[in-house]
Amino acid sequence: MTKKILVIEDDPATSRLVDYSLRHEGYEVITAFNGLEGLRKAVGESPDLIILDVMLPGMDGFEICHRLRADAATAQLPIMMFSAKAQDIDKNTGLKVGADEYLAKPAAPADIVSRVRKLLAQKQSAAAPQEKVSG
C-alpha cells in the first residue's frame, strides 16, 4: 500500500522539491499551502505522515502541530517539522508541541526521504504489537 504524505508548505519551490523527492520514492503526496487547509486535509485525507513548515500564513506550524496533537483523529500521526527556523529554541519548541522530527531547511532530498522512512518505520513498529493482539 502506498503511503500518503501531507506537505503543509507555503513556498512553491520548497513544496515542489519535497513533492518530487517523495513521489520519486513511490509516496503519494498531498499539499496544503496554509495552516487551515493543512488541518482540513490532515483530517479529510488520512495521511500517514505530515511534513509541516513553521512559518505559514495565518497560523504557524507550532500552532498547527499543537492542534493536530489535541485532535484524536490526528494525535498519532507522525509529524516532521521542516523549517528555515533552525535555532535550538525553534527545534525545542517544535518538539515540545508534539513534532516527532525537526529538519532545518535547506535539506538534501535524500535527507528528507530518509527521515520520512524512519518516521514511517517507527509508526509501523509501534502499531505492530496492537495488530498481533487483535489478529
pLDDT tens by residue, the chain, 135 residues? 789 999 999 999 999 999 999 999 999 999 999 999 999 999 999 999 999 999 999 899 999 999 999 999 999 999 999 998 888 998 999 999 999 999 999 999 999 999 999 999 998 887 766 554 444
Q: Would you state the pLDDT for residue 134? A: 47
Task: State the distance between the two ends of the chain, measured CA to CA, in whole angstroms.
Answer: 19
Point out which residues pair with 102 in neighbouring strands.
Answer: 81
- Written as nine digits, the cell of 103 is 529538519
Q: Quote the CA–CA distance of 41 and 43 in Å, as a whole number.
A: 5
All domains in the chain, ordered by first residue: 4-134 (3.40.50.2300)
Please choose, from the candidates 130, 61, 128, the residue with its C-alpha nearest in 3D space to the C-alpha of residue 98: 61
pTM assigned to the model: 0.91
Q: Quote the CA–CA distance of 74 and 117 in Å, as a whole number.
A: 19
Q: Would you state the pLDDT for residue 129? A: 62
Q: Would you state the pLDDT for residue 123? A: 84
Point out which residues pair with 17 in neighbouring strands.
Answer: none
